[in-house]
Amino acid sequence: MSTKAKSWTTGLVLMVVYLLHVDFGAGQNGSLVWGMPVSLWYHVGYCFLVVFVMVGVVRWAWPLDEGDDR
């Protein structure tokens, strides 16, 4: 895949993750699960989703050359 295509795909993935930040349904759910409300669990889960996505982005579309990484 070309660098340009990689950049566009990465941008698209990041845009989807950004939109997932809005918690439409879960934000109104105050039921407690292991002591924390579902509304908070959603955003804690979101933080870990970002971790996994960034692992992929770093591996797949790292913007620096190998020489820069040494």
Partner 1 sequence: MILGAIIGYLILVASIGLVANRLLRGTGEDYFVASRSIGAFVLLMSLFGTHMTAFAILGASGEAYHSGVGVFALMASSSAFVVPVVFFVVGTRIWRIGKEQGFLTQVQFFRHRYGDDRFGLALFLVLVALMIPYLLIGVMGAGITLSEITEQQVPQWMGGLLVCVVIAIYVCSGGLRGTAWVNTFQTLVFGLIGVATFWVVSQRMGGLESAMQKVAGVSPDLLIRGEKLSWVKVISYTFVPLSVGMFPHMFMHWLTAKSGKAFKSTVIFYPVCIAVVWIPSVLLGVLGVVDFPGLQGPAANSVLVRMVSLHAPGLLGGLLAAGVFAAIMSSLDSQSLSLGTMFTHDVVRHYGLHDKMSEKQQVMVGRAFVLLVLTVTYLLSLVVQRSIFKLGIWSFTGFAALIPLVIAALYWKRSSRVGAWLCLLTVVVGWVYFYIQAGKIPGYTVFGLMPVVVLTVTSSLSMVLGSFFFPNAQSDH
Which residues contribute to the site for partner 1 (CB under 8 A)?
14, 17-18, 21-24, 27-30, 32, 34-37, 39-40, 42-44, 46-48, 50-51, 54-55, 57-58, 62-65, 68-70
Q: How far is the CB of 9 from partner 1 (least distance, A)?
A: 14
Task: For residue 16, give Cα distances in angstroms to 10, 20, 30, 41.
Answer: 10, 6, 25, 19
**H or E element, residue 40:** helix 38-61
User: Is the sign of the CA dihedral 59, 61, 65, 68 positive or negative?
Assistant: negative
Q: How far is the CB of 36 from partner 1 (least distance, A)?
A: 7
Q: How far is the CB of 20 from partner 1 (least distance, A)?
A: 9
